[in-house]
Amino acid sequence: MRGFVVLSCFLVLCAAVDYEADRKLLIDVSLRRSIGYELQLTPNEIEADDIFLSLKYAELDEGFVNPKKFLVAQHFYEVRHNITESEVFKFIKKVPKGTALHAHDLFMVSGDFFFNMTYKYADNLYVLDNPPNDIRVGFFNAGEQPSSWVLISSARENSSTFDVRLRSQLTLVVWNPKLVYNDTDDVWNRFRSTFPSTIPLITYQPIFKDCFYQALKELYEDNVKYLEFRGLFPQLYDLNNTAYDKDTLMQLYIDTTQEFINDFPDFWGTRFIYGPSRNVNQSVVQQYIDDFLELQAKFPDFVVGFDLTDQEDKGRPLADFIPQLQQLQNKTNFFFHAGESDWFGEPTDENLFDAILLGTKRIGHGFALIKYTLLMEMVKEKGIAIELSPISNLIGILVNEARNHPGTYYIANNLPVVICHDDPTIWGTKGVNYDWYVAFMGMTHRDNGLGTLKQLAINSIQYSAMTDDQKSVAMNKWQADWDQFIQEVLAEDNQLVIV
């Protein structure tokens, strides 16, 4: 059908009867390839789309005249507070987004909430402060802390800059990002440098539980009703020397999810994808697989897939572990990170070949996919979703701004794309709204509107690890939320007109 449309367009152009008509047809046929453009919108949706596009056009027009005012053309850290004032951002926040399918267990909550845990649990939080930028933290019973460590409250009293310095060690946020981060390795090195502060905080069991619940709440506030997240098996601890094994960790996730559903009954649930480090040898990957199979057998409704994570350029490629990974084929879902790199023809971007051959259901990032036309065709034909994480790629300096991101091609050619938020704690974001905004304003055609948002939300359900029956139920619930959203958009617009 696509070939027929292109051929028809070509024949019309060759006829050269009406240049303006031919030009319009060519643009229209090109645009119809993009995500969501061919959705048949209802009259109410068309009216809401007009409202939404007017907001988009206003922001684009201002940015076209003065590029310095176009927010997605700037470094995220320079404009993140301005983005929240965007009318497009405010509109997108209200959109029922379905699911979030790519986040990492230790860093899913907003940086502000995470930092505030150092106040909520200050009574047993001890620190070793080595100015200017080495603060070690940990929870201890009084008298059991290491020598020279003091309560965090004392450290705050002794240094007026302590909180500023501690906060800077918990995220990558800086005021002069272009001077601090020169390349992807700089970003990854800074990421790892946060671990002496972030890991002892997030693995303290009370904080871990609070942050998981809050991460669900922040997604819910962005109108996300379901989460699939990559997880390690972090060693949790508390003041009672409780042993937290893998089973206990899974149960904590399940119980906390149920608590959240009790508080917010229209939330659909969570699922776990085991995603340990790829920077290991084959025997360790074999142990990963043994652990995974044991865990999946115990929690078959919760543990739904396998991945290998960490920096691809510095870690080992999937090709090193094919015999081990083949043991999981037909036993679980693969959701491989692949192509999170700007290299071409290196082991990193060749992970894309192995991910597809192994039968991955989704590809994490897929940044380098654009360089392989055949693989893009296979991804589209097989329905392998690309987990697009715009802010992660921008902060990671894979690309300088959203308009140059490969996601523009994926969206323009209706590849299976879902929008994800990756590590909001570290990026200094909150929920998924920033990523949806950056993707929409930086990676879509001027005339892509509500249909694109709608299809992205549908994609998030379609390409989840839910069963077909669960997807059907979720789609019905999402459709009800969507219909209500459209009614609210129209009602709010009518109210503005009346006023």
Q: 234-266: buried (b, 16+ CB within 10 Å) or exposed (e) per residue?
A: eebbeeeeeebeeeebbebbbebbeebeeeeee
Structure tokens at 81: 């507070």
Rounded Cα distance between 324 and 259, Å, is 37
The 3-state DSSP class for residue 108 equals coil
**Residues whose CB is less than 8 angstroms from the CB of residue 45 and which lie 6 or more positions away in sequence, other chains included:** 450, 454, 486
Q: How many CB atoms lie within 10 A of CB 115?
A: 16
Peptide bond into 424 cis (omega under 30): no
Query: How far apart are alpha carbons 135 and 169 in whole angstroms?
Result: 8
Q: 171: alpha, beta or left, given left = phi > 0 and alpha = psi -120 to 50?
A: beta
What CA–CA distance (Å, rounded) separates 262 from 255?
Answer: 10
Among 129, 112, 122, smallest CA distance to 204 is for 122
**Any catalytic annotation for residue 340?**
yes
Phi, psi of 42 (to 5 degrees): -75, 165
Q: Which of 228, 312, 340, 387 is catalytic?
A: 340
Read off the tokens for 129.
Answer: 């402060």
Q: What three-state secondary structure class fits 229?
A: strand
Q: Catalytic residue among 102, 365, 405, 421, which?
A: 365
Dist. CA 437–CA 415, nearest whole Å: 19
Cα distances (angstroms) measured from residue 489 to each of 89, 94, 431, 483, 493: 14, 9, 22, 10, 6
Pairing of strands 224-231, 150-151: unpaired
State both tokens at 446. Answer: 């001027």
Whether 97 contacts 222, CB under 8 Å: yes
Cα first-last separation, the chain: 48
45 is catalytic: no
Q: What token pair was written down for 214?
A: 């809050």
**Residues recognised as catalytic:** 340, 365
